Amino acid sequence: MNKHSVVIVGGGISGLSTAFFLSRRASQEHFPLKITVLEASDRFGGVLRTMTRGGFQREAGADAFYAGQDDATDLCRELGLQKDLVEAASCFRWFFFLKNKRYFPIPGVPGSFLDTVRFLWHPQLSFLTKFRMLGEPFIPRCRDEQDESLASFIRRRLGQGFYQELVKPLVQGVYMMDPEVLSLGAMFPRFKQAERTFGSLAGSFLKMKSKKKEKGHAEFLTLKHGLEGLVQALVRELGVFEAWPSRPSERVGIPACELRRSAPVRECTYRMGAGWEILLENGELLRADSLCLAMNACESSKLLSRQAPELSRALSEIRYDSIATVNLIYRFEDVPAGDLAPGFLVPMDGECYPFSSLKWLGKSADGKHMFMRAFLSETMIPEVFMESDETLKQKLLDFLDEFFGIQAKPLFIDVERYPRALPQYETGHFERVARIETLTAQYPGLFFAGNGFRGFGITDCIRQAKIVSARCQFQNH
Ligand SMILES: Cc1cc2nc3c(=O)[nH]c(=O)nc-3n(C[C@H](O)[C@H](O)[C@H](O)COP(=O)(O)OP(=O)(O)OC[C@H]3O[C@@H](n4cnc5c(N)ncnc54)[C@H](O)[C@@H]3O)c2cc1C
């Protein structure tokens, strides 16, 4: 009996976890399966990358995952990483709004009654905004099932002031997305659900608070030695089964997976009766019964443009934004505002700063260093990808000097760029995804994983990988 073969294009968290779940399923079903993962760059992990220099560990891309859903936590446990799971710096507790070269704090998710009162009566919010917010429970629910933008929903329920003064800067800064086009259904389904179920956001907020207390676990987790540990564990699990025949008996029978780096794919073609042909940039041709494209939808679109023009066009409609991150490490005594609580600094609407948000991560465990990360989105700062690393760094250092009086040089500063990396789930996103799914069904054995479809966080990508691996139909030859 020939093995069923699956080629996965993309060796980020989506591609690797798809390979892991497929491999585990084949093992449970005693099915002979051959999995090949093709990664364009010379490393696995995509956006997940932990770097260590001068004894400092820092995340170049993603730095934590949402633990409110169990997919990522469960995967870490399955890979034996549970002892390394740690709570991530709680940057969502405080938001610092930058206005006229000053900042004012607002509690993120109000944690207590006192927080909520402080939030509602914050001096920076206008009286009209507060008054309108208090009317939220009395706004009739909207029964229209059509998707709407986050901006439209917030204006409707909480008023223009709340949107303009809080939501717009926050969403632009933290999510790096434009709330005027952001899909409520895709990004904040709980808001819509809350309105539908409780008639108001206020009612659902109280309910959710009591639930969270019951659960009592951290909202965001990371790994002690960095998130790349998850990538390394997956690569280890996938790559070494056959090479380690002496490993514990539960491993016996799990198919080995071929993991190939520096293997960019140029084109994918379906041949009736023969399956998929995968053409690499170096001219090599691979064949597979099933094909999983686990990368940006816009990249997947290119690979299918000749074979499936309509599907390719639909994929290209999912828009991506380019992001740059800047990591900074200072000596604690060099930062006059060192005691500022961890949080996000976001520019108010109309204010111009050299970043979309600045994540103030706080002190190192030994209290000797201060960590910060700046995020720069191309949509908000269009010149980001035209300027050199040195210019971006200098602008940021000038800001920190002027704003926080930090004149000392950082011990460490570096820039990482992620072209077309962050999907923008625009209004009608799920309709677009449903159309992609319908068109995909015309091509036997074709699957998509990745951040462009049903959630872009690490946890979402892992959940989608699990779904793809369950849907893949194994066939004997
Ligand atoms: C700067 C940044 C910070 C983020 N922070 C967080 C966070 O803190 N928490 C969180 O939950 N989420 C975060 N996200 C989102 C989340 O990290 C990503 O959505 C997720 O990691 C995407 O994983 P992926 O495997 O789908 O894609 P990627 O990580 O982009 O991996 C796709 C891989 O496919 C490869 N590839 C592309 N084209 C080809 C080709 N033609 N042939 C072969 N290989 C190809 C690429 O080289 C890449 O390695 C962040 C995203 C960014 C950009």
What class is the 110-214 domain? mainly alpha
pLDDT at 254 over 90: no
Ligand 1 centre to CA of 303 (Å) is 17
Q: What is the 342 CA–ligand 1 centroid distance (Å)?
A: 25
Ligand 1 pocket check for 457: Cβ under 6 Å: yes
Q: Atom 35 of ligand 1 has which residue's CA nearest to it?
A: 10
pLDDT tens-place string over residues 364-402: 888 999 999 999 999 888 888 899 999 999 999 999 999
Could you tell me the distance, in angstroms and rounded to a whole number, from the CA of residue 309 to the centre of ligand 1? 24
Q: How far is the CA of 362 from the centre of ligand 1 (A)?
A: 26
Long-range residue pairs from 387-390, CB within 8 A, at least 24 positions apart, any chain: 389/414, 389/415
Q: Are 5 and 287 in contact (CB under 8 A)?
A: yes
- Cβ 96 vs Cβ 345: under 8 Å: yes
Rg (the chain; Cα; Å): 24
Instruction: Reduce the DSSP state of residue 282 to 3 states and report it.
Output: coil
Domain positions in the chain are: 4-51+225-308+443-471, 110-214
Closest CA to 198 of 157, 150, 161: 157
pLDDT of amino acid 115 = 67
4-51+225-308+443-471 placed in CATH 3.40.50.300 = no
Of 15 and 102, the one with more pLDDT: 15
How far does residue 222's CA lie from ligand 1's centre (Å)? 16
pLDDT of residue 401: 96
Q: What is the pLDDT of residue 265?
A: 98
pLDDT at residue 1, as a whole number: 55
Name the pairing type of β-strands 85-87 and 94-99.
unpaired
* Span 10-60, pLDDT tens digits: 999 999 999 999 999 988 888 888 999 999 999 999 999 999 887 888 999
CA of 48 to the centre of ligand 1 (A): 7
DSSP secondary structure letter of residue 163: I
Q: How far, in Å, from the CA of 55 to the mean position of ligand 1?
A: 26
pLDDT exceeds 50 at position 246? no
Does ligand 1 lie within 6 Å of residue 262's CB atom?
Answer: no
SS3 of the chain:
CCCEEEEEECCEHHHHHHHHHHHHHHHHCCCCEEEEEECCCCCCECCCCEEEECCEEEECCCCCEECCCCHHHHHHHHCCCHHHEEECCCCCCEEEEEECCEEEEEECCCCCHHHHHHHHCCCCCCHHHHHHHHCHHHCCCCCCCCCCEHHHHHHHHHCHHHHHHHHHHHHHHHHCCCCCCEEHHHHCHHHHHHHHHHCCHHHHHHHHHHHHHHHCCCCEEEECCCCHHHHHHHHHHHHCCCCCCCCCHHHCCCCCEEEECCCCEEEEEEECCCEEEEEECCCCEEEECEEEEECCHHHHHHHCCCCCHHHHHHHHCCEEEEEEEEEEEEEHHHCCCCCCCCEEEEECCCCCCCCCEEEEEEECCCCCEEEEEEEEECCCCHHHHHCCHHHHHHHHHHHHHHHHCCCCCCCEEEEEEEEEEEEECECCHHHHHHHHHHHHCCCCCEEEECCCCCCCCHHHHHHHHHHHHHHCCCCCC
- The number of the ligand 1 atom at minimal distance from the alpha carbon of 10 is 34
Residue 241 has pLDDT above 80, yes or no: no
Cα(144)–Cα(165) distance, rounded to whole angstroms?
Answer: 27
Separation of CA 47 and ligand 1 centre (Å): 4
- Ligand 1 atom with minimal separation from the 461 CA: 26
Task: Give the pLDDT of residue 68.
Answer: 87
Question: Between 462 and 215, whose confidence is greater?
Answer: 462
- 173 vs 162: CA distance, rounded Å: 16
Residue owning the nearest CA to atom 34 of ligand 1? 10
- Could you read off the pLDDT of 126-179 as tens digits, one per residue? 889 988 988 888 999 888 889 999 999 999 999 999 999 889 999 999 899 999
Residue 214's φ and ψ, nearest 5 degrees, are -60, -45
User: Measured from the CB, is residue 451 less than 6 Å from ligand 1?
Assistant: yes
DSSP annotation of 307: T
The pLDDT, as a whole number, for residue 54 is 79
Candidate of 221, 282, 295 to mutate for ligand 1, largest count of ligand atoms within 8 Å of Cβ:
295
Residue whose CB lies within 8 A of the most ligand 1 atoms, among 9, 44, 47, for a mutation test = 47
The pLDDT, as a whole number, for residue 255 is 56
Ligand 1 lined by 80 (C-beta under 6 Å):
no
Ligand 1 contact via 301 beta carbon (within 6 Å): no
Ligand 1 atom with least separation from CA of 41: 47
- Rounded (to 5) percent helix, strand, coil in the chain: 40, 25, 35
Confidence at residue 250, expressed as pLDDT on a 0 to 100 scale: 44
Gap from CA of 110 to ligand 1 centroid (Å): 31
Atom of ligand 1 nearest to the CA of 375: 1
Whether residue 212 is predicted with pLDDT greater than 60 in this model: the reply is: no
User: What average pLDDT does the structure give for the chain?
Assistant: 89
Share of the chain above pLDDT 90, in %: 66
Residue 419's CB is within 10 A of a number of other CB atoms, namely 12
Distance 181 CA to ligand 1 centre (A): 22
3-class DSSP assignment, residue 142: coil
Confidence of residue 121 (pLDDT cuts 50, 70, 90): confident
Q: Does residue 326's CB lie within 6 angstroms of at least one atom of ligand 1?
A: no
Tens digit of each residue's pLDDT (9 = 90 or more) over 281-340: 999 999 999 999 999 999 999 999 999 999 999 999 999 999 999 999 999 999 999 889
The CB of 456 under 6 Å from ligand 1? The reply is yes
Is 426's C-beta closer than 6 angstroms to any atom of ligand 1?
A: no
As to burial, measured by CB atoms within 10 angstroms (0-12 exposed, 13-18 middle, 19+ buried), residue 456 is buried
Distances (CA, A) of 307 to 269, 274, 275, 434, 444: 6, 15, 13, 20, 13
Protein residue with least CA distance to atom 36, ligand 1: 10
Residue 44 exposed, middle or buried by CB count within 10 Å (0-12, 13-18, 19+):
buried
Pocket lining: 423 vs ligand 1, CB cutoff 6 Å = no
